Amino acid sequence: MKRTIILYGLALAALVFLLKYLEYQLIVRNRSIEFYVGIVALFFTALGIWAGLKLTKKKIIILGPEFILNETELQRLGISKREHEVLELMAQGLSNQEIADTLFVSLNTIKTHSSNLFLKLEVRRRTQAIQKAKKLRLIP
Amino acid sequence: MKRTIILYGLALAALVFLLKYLEYQLIVRNRSIEFYVGIVALFFTALGIWAGLKLTKKKIIILGPEFILNETELQRLGISKREHEVLELMAQGLSNQEIADTLFVSLNTIKTHSSNLFLKLEVRRRTQAIQKAKKLRLIP
DNA sequence: AAATCCTTCACCCGAAAGGGTGATTATTTA
DNA sequence: TAAATAATCACCCTTTCGGGTGAAGGATTT
C-alpha cells in the first residue's frame, strides 16, 4: 500500500514535468496541439491501466470457492435423497454404525445404501466414493 | 469480447471529438493549455482504469486454490516421509494392499504406517485421517 | 390395479481395516 | 559408541466394510 502511494506521487510529479515540457515544446517548436495531447493521452491511459490493476488485484483474491450442488449429475447417476445423506455423513468420516445411529436406522440399512452408492458411483471403497463425489460436486 | 471492442471504438471516437473540441475552444476562448491537457488526462485515466479492469477480471478468476504443504504441522505431528507418502496414497482412495504394491513393501508395513498415522492424527478411520490431513494442508 | 421406485431390514460370507505386541536393520543423533 | 529414530515385516485378534440375495411396506406413476 505504501508503495502504491509513492508511485502515485511519482506519477503526479511526472505529470507536472510533462505539462511544463509540453508547454516549452509548444513555444520553441511548431507542432500541432494534437501531438502533445496524444502523448498525454497515452501516458494517462497507461497510468489508468496500472491503477485499474492495482485496484482489482486484492478484491478478487478474496473470492473463495463456494459449493454448488450438482443436481444434474445427482439425477443422472440416480442417487436418491437418502443415499445422498449417507454419502455426506460418509464424507465426514463416520462409520456405517455411526451413520445408522445418526439417521436412526439399522446398520443393515446403511450397508444397503452404501452398496447402492458404490454401484452408482462405480467405485469399490468409501474413500473412492468420497473422492468421486467431491469431484462431481455432489458433496462440499 | 464484442462489447469490449465496440466500447474501445466509442472511446476512440470520443477522443477525436475531444481533440477537435479542444482545438476549437483554444481558438475561441483564451484558456491555458494545462486546462485542456488536464481534461484529456482525466479522460484517459478513466479509460485506462476501465481497460485495466477489463483485462484482469477474467484472467484472475481462473486462479484456482493452489496447494502449499504445511511442513510445520507435519513436523509438529512427527509424521515421517514414508508415512506422508502412505497418507497421500490413502487419500487417493487406494486400499492398504494397493498402497503396499505401489511402494513395493508388504501389507503389514502399510498397516504399521497407517496405524501410526491414525495415532499421530488422533483419528480412528482412514476417512477421518484424510479429512484431517486435508484440513491441516498435509495433502492436496 | 400393476409396475416401479424408495426405504427399510435381515442373513451370510469373505475381504479389508484397525489395534496390539514384538523384532530386525539402517541411519542419524547425542 | 550408545541411543534414538525410521522403515521394514510378522502374528494374532477384533471390528468394519463390502457383495450378494431376499423381502416387506409405502409412495408414485402408468
pLDDT in tens, B8-56: 678 677 777 777 776 677 666 666 666 766 777 777 778 777 777 766 6
- Is the model more confident about A64 or about A45? A45
Residue A13: pLDDT over 70 = yes
Say yes or no: A55 and A84 in one domain.
no
CB pairs under 8 A between A and B: 131
- Which residues, 6 or more positions from A111, have their beta carbon under 8 angstroms from its beta carbon? A96
Residue A50 lies in a domain: yes
pLDDT in tens, A102-130: 999 999 999 999 999 999 999 999 999 99
Which among B48, B60, B125 has CB closest to A49?
Answer: B48
Say what the pLDDT of residue B65 is: 74
Q: How far is CA B56 from CA A11, A37, A53, in A?
A: 22, 27, 7
Q: How many domains does chain A have?
A: 2
Q: Mark yes or no for CB contact A55/B50 under 8 Å.
A: no
Domain boundary among A13, A42, A61: A61
Residue A66 lies in a domain: no
Average pLDDT along chain A: 83
Residue A22 lies in a domain: yes
Say what the pLDDT of residue B1 is: 60
> What is the 3-state composition of chain A as percent helix, strand, coil, each rounded to the nearest 5?
75, 0, 25
Instruction: Check whether residue A106 has its CB closer than 7 Å to nucleic acid strand C.
Output: yes
Amino acid at A16: V
Q: Dihedral angle at the C-alpha atoms of A100, A103, A108, A110, nearest 10 degrees? A: -90
- Which residues, 6 or more positions from B30, have their beta carbon under 8 angstroms from its beta carbon? none
Between CA B66 and CA B72, with CA B67 as vertex, the angle to 5 degrees is: 140
Instruction: Check whether residue B132 has its CB closer than 7 Å to nucleic acid strand D.
Output: no
**CATH assignment of the domain containing B101:** 1.10.10.10
How far apart are the C-alpha atoms of B121 and B133, rounded to whole Å? 8
* Residues 81-100 (B) near nucleic chain D, CB < 7 A: 81-83
Q: Mark yes or no for CB contact A92/B131 under 8 Å.
A: yes
Question: Which has the minimum average pLDDT: A19-23, A116-120, B86-90?
Answer: A19-23
Q: Is the pTM of this model over 0.75?
A: no
- Is the model more confident about A131 or about B23? A131
Say what the pLDDT of residue B27 is: 66
**Domain that includes residue A20, residue range:** 2-61
- Is the model more confident about B5 or about B42? B42
Per DSSP, the residues of A80-104 read -HHHHHHHHHHHTT--HHHHHHHHT
Q: Mark yes or no for CB contact A93/B48 under 8 Å.
A: no
Residue A13 lies in a domain: yes
Say yes or no: A12 and A41 in one domain.
yes
Could you tell me the distance in Å between the CA of residue A127 and the C1' of nucleotide D19?
Answer: 17
Residue B37 lies in a domain: yes
Phi, psi of B80 (to 5 degrees): -80, 170
| Interface mutation vs chain B, best among A27, A49, A97, A118, most B CBs within 10 Å | A49
